[in-house]
Amino acid sequence: MFHLLFTYFFFTLYVNFHVVINPVFHQMGDPIQLKDEGNKHFQAGDIDKAIECYTKAIKECKDKNTLAVIHRNRSACYLKKENYASAASDASKAIDIDAADIKALYRRCQALEKLGKLDMAFKDVQRCATLEPKNKTFLETLRRLGAEIQAKLKTTFSTDSRVQNMFDILLNEEMEKDKREKAANNLIVLSREDAGAERIFQNNGVPLLLNMIETGKPEMILAAIRTLSGMCTGHKARAMAIIHMVGVDKMCSIMAIDNEEIALATCNLFQCINDSLTGGDSREYGKEEALVLDASKDLKTILLSLLEMVASKKVSGHGRDQALNLLTKNVPRKDRKDKNNSRTLFTIDQGLKKILKVCGQVPELPDQLPLTENTQLIASVLLNKLYDDLTCDPERNNFRDVCDEYIKSKIDPNNMDKTLHAVNVISGLLQGPFDVGNALVGHQGIMEMMVALCGSEREVDQMVAVEALIHSSTKMSRASFIITNGVSLLKDIYKKTTNERIKIRALVGLCKLGSAGGDDYSLRQFAEGSTEKLAKQCRKWLCNPQIDTKTRKWAIEGLAYLSNDADVKDDFVEDELALKAMFELAKSRDKTILYAVACTLVNCTNCYDKKEIIPELVQLAKFSKQHVPEQHPKDKKDFIEKRVKRLLKAGVTSALAVMVKADSSILTDQTKEMLARVFLALSEDARDRGTIVAQGGGKALIPLALEGTDTGKVKASHALAKIAAVSNPEIAFPGERMYEVVRPLVSLLHTDREGIQNFEALKGLTNLAGYSEKLRKKIVKEKALPDIENYMFEEQDQIRQAATECMCNLVTCKEVQDRYLEDGNDKMKLLVLLCGEDDDKLQIAAGGALAMITAAQKKLCTKLTRVTPQWLEILQRLCLHTNPNIQHRGIVIVYNMLNSDDNELAKKLIESEMLEILSVIGKAADNPKRQEVIDAARACLVKAMDLDLIKPFTSPS
């Protein structure tokens, strides 16, 4: 009973509940009814209720087309509510269902316009206008948006707006890091264009850049300094204004920061300013030139400030390096023809003692100036440049007197630290102006003091003294003094000391003394086998990564001296680990090592200058009991070639490429010359040139060929010529570098160069000329044509052939053709006569040049017949030649002459034996090996028929 009652109650409740809620279920489940209701609310202006109905309808709707309509309607509601993001989103959903929904497209256009996305809005209304081309609303919107987009673009891309926008981003600390980096880079790029630099300057740019510097953040400082460099480049007025707005002291304080990148960037800023104020940057920038006041005061202020930085304890090692670099680059005269060396004299007067102070620093002692591994060498290089720039004996005497006075003031028997400073100054001078250092060492008691310091109990005394002895024993006389007085002392230090740093220096001293005879086998200073033992110990230290770089570099110093001995060279190149260790050190940040590495490589490859041994003079010397130099058996050609192969295998080229990129003041002209010599030795075998190119050798040679000693530039140019002759220019010298190669090669064409240099330069230029029209024009621009034409007259067969091949590749250039068109020269005659030579390769080159030039310039076909009476005979010989390449060129020349619009010339050719020659060749059966020749002959015969000079052969009917 209870069960029945419960069932009845539940059923009644269900029926009643169903009757009450069923209408609601019905309303929620009908999207069309909800849509219609939403439409009524929209028309009545009740937008919120309309959105509510449309939202419910979207949840219930399953039909895609109906759903598109509802989304489109709700998009209209959101437009009314100014909720443009939602309006655009709903319209997009409708368009996704029906891409041609014109109402949805226009509503999205309206929403996107309000959101500022004008380009996207323009695309939507453009689509609407395509669907309804006569709709005035669409057309008006299209016109209006187009105008707005143009206006916005103009504003967005105007320099003023870009500048302000970049500064806003950079000085906003909440901005994302990548956006700030991008803005910094854009600002730097903009500053490198004159219009952009001027806009930055006019738009309060300098104070804003100073604000960036004041943030103290390295990346902001870098961006600001690089932007200032761009603004100062080549513009005197702006450079002077920036000096006064920023202040020289401020710039110096930035360069003094202990950050290598910032110091380098500030050094570049100073250089840009200097170039602009002195006219070092020769670009013209208009009327500003006349407005600039005298810049000498500012230049003097900068010079004094840099000299102050040199000896200031507040300056970091990197900052000091860059101050010294700027002095090295800008104080000595660049051209010795300029008689004014007042900047050098002023620097010696105001700053020589400061530079000597840097040389004298002993990092192991307390209270020293902050230095890098390179600082003292850079100071020595600067001293050398200043001394070299002096013009007379009184100036040189003054330089020596200042140095002498400074050293005497530091020698104090009661203060060993000051005395060490004096000894280190002498070491610095011996690495710089050697004559000055050598004279100081010769003063009474100096050498004895060095020897005495070697016996000191303090390790730092021993280390400084041994280094000074090493530097001072460069000349034979000094070496002889130390061999007599100091060898036993050095050996004693080497054996007794436990300090590796002193031990290795003592060893290098012994190495240097052991090599005092150079590569003269008969002048060995030590007993047989001693130098090999010393070298073995140097290699052992070199390969020990636990020893610091500054100490390991002394092992290379030792090898630089010992590798004069061919036994040492051979052992060293066989030790691949030692070679690789040296190359890794050459790539390290310590660039003081470069000279020693370069010396070692020069010795290993035997690429130093060798005196020619004349047998008669040798006999005379022996008769008169004079010393006769002897060559080591392992210094013969086959041994040298093996050593070169071993060096290449160990990766010498990549090490050389890194060395070339070193700081310019460290990489002295002498070091550059040695690197150029090594490159030339490495590129001797054509099979090795691909390896050199692959490891960056081609690129590295270009700066060596353009800067340095005259000998170094010639050697580097010769190496470039060897590489250019056999390599694809695009791979060997990528990008714009291939155009930089032309000038060094042209420099080798001068008559004072060796024949092999002329020949290989011509081969290199031939390869370049065959690559592109732009390169051909570059060769012409470098005025190479007269030299190339001159070598076409050369008696030496190979040079003459190379010059003719080069001309063959150049004749497609319009400027070259114009030279052949000129009257009063023998250029055309020479080409014709070269075609008559017996050398096949020469005939191919000359015939090719004639074929191309007569095809390009029809007037030359007639000129060809006037240059020599032998022209027809030579042409017939070409056409009858057994070599298909020569024969083909001859027949092409004949075709060009038939095609030259000179009917008399064509008639003369056909009336000669040439017709019979062409007929015999043209009637021959097809032959793949000679097909080009046969086809060319047939083309000539067809041309003759076209000119009605011959009739086609027809058989009788």
Q: Which of 208, 162, 206 is nearest to 185 (CA)?
A: 162
Q: What is the token pair recorded at 295?
A: 């810049």
What pLDDT was estimated at residue 445? 76
Q: What is the token pair recorded at 509?
A: 């001293």
What pLDDT was estimated at residue 251? 95
Angle subtended at Cα 665 by Cα 661 and Cα 668, rounded to the nearest 5 degrees: 80
Is the separation of the CB atoms in 553 and 591 below 8 Å? no
Question: What digits encode the pLDDT tens for the residues 556-588?
Answer: 888 888 888 888 888 999 999 999 999 998 888
Domain extents for the chain?
A: 31-155
For residue 175, what are the contacts with CB-CB under 8 A and spacing of at least 6?
169
Q: What distance in Å separates the CA atoms of residue 940 and residue 59, rounded to the nearest whole number? A: 85
What pLDDT was estimated at residue 23? 37
- Dihedral angle over CA of 73, 78, 82, 86, nearest 10: -120
Q: Tokens 């309808």 — which residue?
A: 57
Per DSSP, the residues of 628-670 read: -----GGGSHHHHHHHHHHHHHHTHHHHHHHHHTS-TTTS-HH
Mean pLDDT of all residues in 812-837: 89
Q: What distance in Å separates the CA atoms of residue 222 and residue 334, rounded to the nearest whole number? A: 30
123 half-sphere exposure, CB direction, 13 A CA radius: 4
Q: What is the CATH number of domain 31-155?
A: 1.25.40.10
Residue 491: band (very low, low, confident or very high) from pLDDT cuts 50, 70, 90: confident
| CA dist list (Å): 872 to 206, 683, 857, 914 | 76, 45, 19, 9
Per DSSP, the residues of 131-190 read: HSTT-HHHHHHHHHHHHHHHHHHHHHTSHHHHHHHHHHHHT-TTS-HHHHHHHHHHHHHH
Mean pLDDT of all residues in 15-38: 57
Is the separation of the CB atoms in 592 and 666 below 8 Å? yes
What pLDDT was estimated at residue 349? 94
Q: Quick check: 350 pLDDT over 90?
A: yes
Is the separation of the CB atoms in 474 and 437 below 8 Å? no
Higher-pLDDT residue of 152 and 189 is 189
What pLDDT was estimated at residue 356? 95
Higher-pLDDT residue of 26 and 553 is 553
Is the separation of the CB atoms in 674 and 601 below 8 Å? yes
What pLDDT was estimated at residue 684? 92
Mean pLDDT of all residues in 519-525: 43
Question: What digits encode the pLDDT tens for the residues 97-138?
Answer: 888 889 999 999 999 988 888 888 988 998 898 888 888 888
Is the separation of the CB atoms in 577 and 543 below 8 Å? yes
Q: Which long-range contacts (CB under 8 A, 24 or more apart) does 135-144 make?
A: 137/106, 138/106, 141/106, 141/109
Question: How many other CB atoms are found less than 10 A from the CB of residue 299?
Answer: 17
Helix segments in 360-486, DSSP class H: 375-388, 393-410, 416-431, 434-441, 446-454, 459-472, 476-485
Name the least confident of 6-15, 193-202, 875-884.
6-15
Q: What distance in Å separates the CA atoms of residue 698 and residue 720, rounded to the nearest whole number? A: 7
Higher-pLDDT residue of 23 and 909 is 909
H or E element in which residue 61 lies: none
As a whole number of Å, the end-to-end CA separation of the chain is 132
Q: What is the token pair recorded at 668?
A: 């002295």
H or E element in which residue 252 lies: helix 248-255
What pLDDT was estimated at residue 379? 94
Angle subtended at Cα 248 by Cα 245 and Cα 251, rounded to the nearest 5 degrees: 95
Q: Which of 808, 726, 813, 736 is nearest to 767 (CA)?
A: 726
Q: Which of 564, 586, 715, 734 is nearest to 662 (CA)?
A: 586
Residue 519: band (very low, low, confident or very high) from pLDDT cuts 50, 70, 90: very low
Question: What digits encode the pLDDT tens for the residues 266-323?
Answer: 999 999 999 988 875 544 444 444 444 578 888 999 999 999 999 999 999 999 999 9
Amino acid (1-letter code) at residue 398: N
Q: What distance in Å separates the CA atoms of residue 509 and residue 469, rounded to the nearest whole number? A: 7
What pLDDT was estimated at residue 546? 86
| CA dist list (Å): 214 to 217, 323, 338 | 8, 22, 42
Amino acid (1-letter code) at residue 513: L
What pLDDT was estimated at residue 18? 37
Q: Quick check: 836 pLDDT over 80?
A: yes
Q: Quick check: 956 pLDDT over 60?
A: no
What pLDDT was estimated at residue 17? 31
Question: What digits encode the pLDDT tens for the residues 841-875?
Answer: 999 999 999 999 999 999 999 998 888 899 999 99
Q: Quick check: 518 pLDDT over 50?
A: no
Question: What digits encode the pLDDT tens for the residues 702-726?
Answer: 999 998 889 999 999 999 999 999 9
Residue-averaged pLDDT of the chain: 84
Is the separation of the CB atoms in 487 and 513 below 8 Å? yes
Residue 610: band (very low, low, confident or very high) from pLDDT cuts 50, 70, 90: low
Helix segments in 525-650, DSSP class H: 530-542, 549-562, 566-574, 576-586, 594-605, 615-623, 637-650
Amino acid (1-letter code) at residue 492: D
666 half-sphere exposure, CB direction, 13 A CA radius: 23
Q: What is the token pair recorded at 745?
A: 């090669």
Q: What distance in Å separates the CA atoms of residue 665 and residue 667, rounded to the nearest whole number? A: 5
Q: What is the token pair recorded at 256?
A: 């003094």
Q: Quick check: 172 pLDDT over 70?
A: yes
Q: What is the token pair recorded at 298?
A: 């500012």
What pLDDT was estimated at residue 480? 55
Residue 624: band (very low, low, confident or very high) from pLDDT cuts 50, 70, 90: low
Mean pLDDT of all residues in 512-527: 51
Q: Quick check: 627 pLDDT over 50?
A: no
Amino acid (1-letter code) at residue 389: D
- Dihedral angle over CA of 820, 823, 824, 825, nearest 10: 10
